[in-house]
Structure 1
Amino acid sequence: MSLKFSGRKSGPISSARCLPTLPVARGRGWHPTERDNREWMRILAENGWSLPEWPVEYGGAGWSPLKAYIFEDECAAADAPHVQWRAGYSLVGPVICNFGTDAQKARYLPTIRDGRELWCQGFSEPDAGSDLASLKTSAVLDGDEYVINGQKIWTSEAQYADLMFALVRTDPAVKAQRGLSCIIIDMKTPGLTVRPIETIDNAVHVNEVFFENVRVPAANLVGEANMGWTYAKFLLGNERHSNALVQRIKREIRKLRELAQNGEFGERFIEKPTFKRKLSELEIDVAALEWAVLRSATAHGQMAGRDMAFASGLKVEASYLQQRVADMQLEIIGPWVAPDFPEPDEGPWIEARFGDAPEDVPGAMTKALFRRAAPIYGGANEIQRGIIWRAVFQK
């Protein structure tokens, strides 16, 4: 199947079209708002850059993994939103491209490309976090519809998502992994309730989602029934690869080095031998991670899936590097981190909230607190180590 998209333009992004607060918010470590995400996607789509690695026939730019990586690196340097972090682009879309029907590709891929619909991923449950095979949310076929009951938790960005890509149990009588299926759910469907969860950084990134007799067309089933575990592993390989966030870590290290050199907070930390050694070790570790990410990207590519054990290794290492760079920034900023600087909302905020705080203070503690969850989200590191052990040592 070949999809055609019209209206693509080329050339530089006009800064006048960008949200004026977005680079400042991203530079301080805050998450993009819903408005930011939708506007940024629209801008990228107009330039043909919203789906860097996707094939041209599916509306993508058709770039090589290396070119897509460089583009993400430039976005990070400009404090633009993280392109690969979007569930539609890096997680759901490749699954639909590889396993979806022609009708599903025609319906969903154009809106992923243009940012008209945002996605969330409905995998984790209260009793099935990293152990997804034990999930209980059921989908029972009733005529030409599935009736869904159950609960998801820690669902990122469900509070403003238009669609969910959910892993559900369609056959409770077979082995756990064999009774799962993937299905697309409209978030406005009656019986579906989203309850936001406020996290330690005083923001809402994750949610509980409840299903009470939610009726979904059977045509929304992706691939074959009871084959969801195969599709989920494909998706999770891409997720753990994108969770490395190596371009963002590089951007944070550049900021860290600037803070260490300028002495704005009373002393030049770059002159402290202990701090300088820690910074050098961090930069070496990030360089090693970057080469590993590049090797994985060029060997597999987003549309073909990732090697699960290798992606797990990237995720484990990256989660601790994210924490290290954030904690070292706090070490420099010192007592200034104590005030609570909330994430921006949809209104004006840059000049109004922060009083006499130096420019690099707002967002620093919020970012460091959010990074406490890095070893957990996307699959707890303990589970990732088990995947690595089984793949490498259990022969």
Structure 2
Amino acid sequence: MKILHVSGVKNWGGGENQIQLLCREFKNHHPEIENLILCIKDGSLARHLEKTNLKFHTAPLALKIDPRFILKLIRVCNLEKIDLIHLHDPTALSLAVMADHFKELPPFVLSKKTSFPIKPRRQSLYKYNYPKIKKIFCVSEATRKICIKSIKFPEKVLTLYHGIDRNSQASSRNTYNIRDRLKIPVEKKIIGNIGNHIRAKDLHTLIKTANQLINFENRSDFHFVQIGKFAKERTNLLKLAVKQYGLEENFSFLGFRENASALIPQFDISIMTSQSEGLPQFIFESFFHKVPVISTSVGGIPEIISHKSNGLLAEAHDDKKLCENILFLVNNEELIPKFAEISHQKLLKNFTSELMAEKTLTEYKKILNERL
């Protein structure tokens, strides 16, 4: 069985990490499955793959529909005798549909990793209902429910949770000491967030939560740390908001950091303020490292966090409730180990890369057996 994984995303994020994890699981535990990856030349995924033993190809992608990428996709399928194409994002889907019009390609599976609705435009509905797509893997049940509203044959759509590699998380090290580097006094609690500076992460609400906690509740015994790839205009606005609220002494942006998840054990609390999510890797990683999580209840997050059972939830954009949740947790510290242990066990039982690979392989086999 030969699988070609196609990515049309330039920057590094949770989705790109999952491609690498999935292929590594197959290589380590299912050597009979040959996996190849086609990704953007000089993109973040290609740079990460250079450090691995995974087989990959690259192609330029200057535009959403770049003929050079399309031709490379056709060429790889022909030369490598690909059995199935796994598309990992909307751009990859567009490129594969276009390529299939020039040269008949193997069947597709598609991963939908966000909870954004499929736009009701003709071209979007056409590509998501393209007959070559045999299955759509949704990262959460919430994503599946949104997706099926736009799919003619909803039986093609299933929930397939992502996961983390327990071994790599356990062995990962990061020599950056947040408290020492930022000169954070030992009596201050570190509230950490990991996420790129994109609209879905709603980092303005993170800043407003810090403002509520520090300026309105007069709790200067907290320091917020945000880790993620800067986006020039958005990052400038975020930094301006921190300055306007007078939070410079209590809020730090660290930018993109390699192996950022290894910094999570230094957090006292992990926080997510997203307005849209599929299922964020950051929460899984916090579960693994037994750091309590406070989050907005968007996308698939309520499927893995139950309020006051293994974490605390608030509605999107509700900085006052997020602040209230922080204070509730620190005022009831006996809940922290309880939340952390329940979350850790839930992760090990349901959300590992081994489980993700096994369930994905089962679906691959169903599709290819139908062709025999």
TM-score by length of 1: 0.26
